[in-house]
Structure 1
Amino acid sequence: MLSTNIVDLLNLPPWLAITVLILDVLIRVIAICWLPYNRKPVVALGWLMAILLIPLIGFVIFLFFGSNYLPKARRARQRTMNEMIRETLDDDMDEKHPVLGDHVKLTEPARVAANLNYRLGALPLVGGNEFTLHKDNHEAMIMMAGEVDKAKDYVHFEFYITAYDDSSQPLWESLIAAAERGVQVRVLIDHIGSRRYLRYRRLTRRLNESGIEWHLMLPLQPWRGKWQRPDLRNHRKILVVDGQIAFSGSQNAIDSSYNTRKNRRRGLRWKDLTFSVTGPVVEELNAVFISDWYSETKELVLAEIETHIPAVNNGQLAQVVPSGPGFETENNLRLINYLIYNAEHRIVICSPYFVPEETLLQALTTAALSNIKVTLIVNEKGDQFLPNMAQRSYYEQLLAAGVRIMQYPQPTVLHSKYMIVDDAYSFIGSSNMDPRSFGLNMEVSTFIFDPDMVNELEDVSREYVAVCKEIEHDRWIDRPAQVKIVENICRLWSSLL
């Protein structure tokens, strides 16, 4: 046993040696009996492996990172918001078909998907929306600033990562100017996501000097009684102006280089996909913000949300899909798997971090083996070593099933996150295709049932694929053995990434 060897090496006194050995055995027994409870087998196995190999250290790490859930009080506030949203919807909405309006073109798979999303996230499928895609990070922030300049009542800003830099400054100055002219500006930024970047202090100083009401999301401040698993983060990106227009997608409110010397030296630039939208779905994105504001502040700002989402029969059909550790189930993963299993002829997935858990891997390979055209767009080299190597370990199995894997060339980090299914369904937002986005991060994505959006995303995909390099199965399996070993080691820990 590892602990016995350590005791021998340290030549501990007999009483201390016996204590350590008893503690070692207790930790192993407790881990085997306790860890599998309500955990996926692969996740439980990952933690068991860590604890059995390095019992004391592994157990301490588990105490900090082992729970996938937010504190009970936060989850209770999320349930309260879900019920409140459901109660404010139109009384004549059919619970079995939670779609506002009478949409003749709606297919049965779309109705089932809408029902699934409503049961999990409390938001219905609504029509009357108009989406616009934005492919340039910095131009998107300029557009956001322009909409904030028009604000009359309120602006809601929620981003995982943000900084006060040359690229984001126009947006921040518009937010500050809006607050100065009497607009209610509320800002949420993730504590860990933003503080690691150089200009975080400059941003917080500007916020404190302004009239903006702002709070940290999921702060790690134990001296203030604020504590949860450190890597449970709010990864959402939302901007809502007056309930009239909203922005969401994959990009953070920061320069595309993320302002680090390492990134600039390597020439790394993040390439994102953001959308702006008008119509009833704006109120759904606003509801997600209101829920998060309530979770962080215990303040319910119902005056800044339309309690009755209108039923509109024209325009693009859409439904917001919130997910994360505040919910009891993996909302985004369930929808993604459902859409894949109901695909008829094609699936396109673009994700910077693709580490599929077992059900997603099974769904994709089943689709490909059923002669459905499955295309995966990923990075040639990601910005994070462990996830990048872990995802590479899945390529051989995917390629063998017939999945096409397209690698976007480095040094650009393709950070867009979307999925196309057939000619009608699309899914776009902040969620990656990995265990972190399915279970650990608070995410927001939007399910869109509209062929025009599919065509627009198909155009984006063609732009990406045009510069990509396709991985060939025969060449891939001949990569060096030492590379395969590293990939497989990283894969073992993929459930804990």
Structure 2
Amino acid sequence: MTRVQSSFMGKSERAFSYTSTFPAVFTFLCISLILSNCRFLPEVDHTLNQSAAIPASRDDSLNTYSQKALKNASADESAFLLIADNQEAMDWRLALVDQAESSIDIQTFIWSGDASSGLLFTRIYEAAKRGVRVRILLDDFLLNSNDRDLARISQFPNLEIRIFNPVPVRGTKFGALFYYLTHFDTINRRMHNKSFIVDGVFAVNGGRNIGDHYFGLDKNYNFRDLDVLTTGPVLPEIQNKFDRFWNDSQSYPAEKIHRRPREQSFATYEANYERVYPAEKLQIFPRVRQDWTKRWNQLAKRVSYGKATFIGDAPEQKGKRRTVKEVGELSANAKKEIYIVSPYFIPDKNSLLEVKKLIDTGVKVKLLVPSLGANNHTPAHSHYRKYRRAILNAGIELYEYDSQPSEHQRDLADTSPVRAKWIGLHTKAFVYDRETCFIGSLNLDPRAMDINTEAGLIINSPELAQQLAEQIDEMCAPANSWRVMFDHRGRIIWNRGIQNLSWQSARNDGQRTLDAILRWIPIEQQL
């Protein structure tokens, strides 16, 4: 009996050893296979690559236009122009780049590989060729550029590109995903800021990334979005925030991102660009450098004046959340009304309680978000919808932007000859008592409030705040949005003038089904 028992136990031990070892061996082999095609970013000494914004020069032509725009402003006031039209948003960027004489600094979450981004980059490269120093800071999360091409382009004279918080594992999506999952807290934090600064004199800030959706050139959908063009004493603040991110250890030089950059002249790049993106799609925009004197001379008649502060989060992982803090303080100090536009809105219970307290004191709160049909990020909508009843119970006026708005709204979103299938909402703006506004990159969702870095302008200008409030009122009108409310039985309905719906609007039944499923997936804190 003892011998049999001993034999059995021996066999059992061998079986246990095999079954416990096999998963470890299998896992090791899988990881080895994944990492076999990977490249790892080399360490760099960030102290060797520091640079600072070039101060504005009185001799630059943009400074002349700035002085004209600021002619009627007081010494501590800046000048502002709201840019709601997608075509105009690209025109202003081209005008700035074409006029640039000393520096171009760009910070963005997304730089798409499409027609508008290619057009803008060709002009930026032309500026670099004539001696303008160009610095471009991109987030790595949605970067779709080939590393070899990116490394090569960043070696062009006067042109430097850096990648914020890059995944160190390159060359394979599986390897990058593996690293992402094993270093989630570090890699999950993304740079969502947007700045476009030229010659230290003018800046464009707001919600737009660089891509066809943001300039009205996508055939599937285009965004109703918002930027503000700024000149004046607030510019050094915007430059300083850019420099802080540019010189941070998380901003990796793109020329180091691949050891063997692809040998490619810019002439080859331009030829490929012309082949992939023919002139028909971009016919409304000039393809070569232009004289924008007429546009610049008209600017002084269009601007509003006010005092501004540029706020932004620290690039460090444990950095301060200044954007959320200061926007929250503005809301808490409102006396009469607050207008909020956010494309992704997922509130927490405490924030709704605070808003209800404000409303109980007589403050009107008007909230505009996209309908399901006007949302390009269905998971975000799926988790927002869970809070509709709580939003209404707090006393908030709730509107959902429709994917098929009026022709005027379409004209702002679509750029001829493109007419998109539907229009999405991407505007991020707050108006307080029609005196102060915030325009920037901040959404009201967990990712923006707790994870990503954000930035924007707080502008004290009754004239500009009134203009923005009027734009929001138009967006909330029945021609463009659904008013979400309770009916006499306490059920949620969607009202659009004489039309009432008892269910939310959507682009199709497939989107409705996906929306219904996604609300049960526990990803809310990552949206």
TM-score (norm 2): 0.62
Which of the residues 203, 220, 232 maps onto 1:246? 203
Matched, 1:231 2:231: no
Question: Could you report, residue by residue, the CA deviation over 1:56-103 in whole angstroms, capped at 9, with x for unpaired residues?
Answer: xxxxxxxxxxxxxxxxx9xx99xx99xx99xxxxxxxxxxxxxxxxxx
Per the alignment, residue 428 of structure 2 pairs with 417
Distance in 1, Cα, partners of 2:252 & 2:315: 18
Aligned equivalents of 1:189, 1:179: Cα separation in 2: 18
CA contact (8 A) 2:86 2:216 kept: no
Residue 137 (structure 1) shift: 2.5
Distance 1:234 1:431, change over 3 A: same
Structure 2, unaligned runs of 5 or more: 1-13, 22-42, 54-74, 172-178, 254-303, 404-421, 494-501, 505-512
CA distance in 1 between counterparts of 2:150 and 2:208 reads: 18
Corresponding position: 1:333 with 2:290: no
Distance 2:515 2:106 in 1: 43
Partner residue of 1:323?
313
Where does residue 236 of structure 2 map in the other structure?
Answer: 283
Deviation track 1:111-131 (CA, whole Å, cap 9, x = no partner) reads xxxxxxxxxxxxxxx932011
Q: 1:461 to 1:200 in 2, by over 3 A?
A: farther
How far residue 147 of structure 1 moved from its aligned partner, in angstroms, is: 1.2
Instruction: Assess if the C-alpha contact under 8 Å between 1:343 and 1:421 holds in 2.
Output: yes
RMSD: 4.0
Provide the C-alpha distance between the structure 1 equivalents of 2:486 and 2:330, rounded to a whole number of angstroms. 26
Question: 1:163, 1:178 → 2: CA distance?
Answer: 20
Q: Do residues 141 (structure 1) and 90 (structure 2) align?
A: yes
Unpaired runs of 5+ residues, structure 1, are: 1-11, 20-72, 86-125, 300-313
3-state secondary structure, aligned to 1:392: helix
**Letter of the aligned partner of 2:329 in structure 1?**
Y
Partner of 1:369 in structure 2?
A: 360
Report the CA distance between 1:235 and its aligned residue: 1.0
Q: Is the 8 A contact 1:348 1:374 kept in 2?
A: yes
In the other structure, the counterpart of 1:476 is: 492
Task: Find the partner of 2:227 among 235, 253, 274.
Answer: 274
* Structure (1 or 2) with the greater helix fraction: 1
3-state SS, counterpart of residue 347 of structure 2: coil
Q: Which amino acid aligns with 1:389?
A: S
What is residue 336 of structure 2 aligned with on the other side? 345
Please state how far the C-alpha of 1:254 moved relative to its aligned partner: 0.9
CA contact 1:320–1:446 (8 Å) conserved in 2: yes
Cα distance in structure 1, aligned partners of 2:396 and 2:90? 35
Q: Deviations over 1:159-213 (max 9, x none)?
A: 11113532234422221111101111111111122328xx998777655556411
Letter of the 1:235 counterpart: H
Other-structure match for 1:434: 445
Amino acid at match of 2:100: A
Contact 2:108/2:195 (8 A) holds in 1: yes
1:398 aligns with 2:391: yes
C-alpha distance in 1 between matches for 2:380 and 2:151: 31
Whether the 8 Å CA contact 2:439–2:456 is kept in 1: the answer is: yes
Kindly state the Cα deviation for residue 17 of structure 1 after the two structures are TM-superposed: 9.3
Q: Secondary structure at the match of 1:157?
A: strand
Partner amino acid, structure 1, of 2:484: I
What does 1:144-163 correspond to in 2, within 5 Å?
144-163=93-112
Match for 2:492: what amino acid?
A: W
CA positional deviation for 1:315:
4.3
**What letter matches 2:525 in structure 1?**
S
Residue 15 to residue 396, structure 1, CA distance change in 2 (3 Å): farther
TM-score by length of 1: 0.65
Q: For the structure 1 residues 257 and 248, does the alpha-carbon distance in structure 2 shift closer, same or farther, using more than 3 Å as the test? A: closer
Q: Contact (CA 8 Å) 2:89, 2:215: kept in 1 or not?
A: no
1:213 corresponds to which letter in structure 2?
A: E
Q: Amino acid of the residue matched to residue 476 of structure 1?
A: I
Quote how far apart the aligned CAs of 1:133 are.
0.7
| Counterpart-to-counterpart distance in 2, 1:476 and 1:202 | 52
Once the two structures are TM-superposed, the CA of residue 13 in structure 1 deviates from its matched residue by 6.0
3-state SS of the aligned residue for 1:194?
coil
Whether contact under 8 Å (1:142, 1:170) holds in the other structure is no
- Flag the 1:169–1:297 CA change in 2: closer, same or farther, 3 A: closer
Q: Aligned partner of 2:444: which letter?
A: M
Counting matched residue pairs gives 370
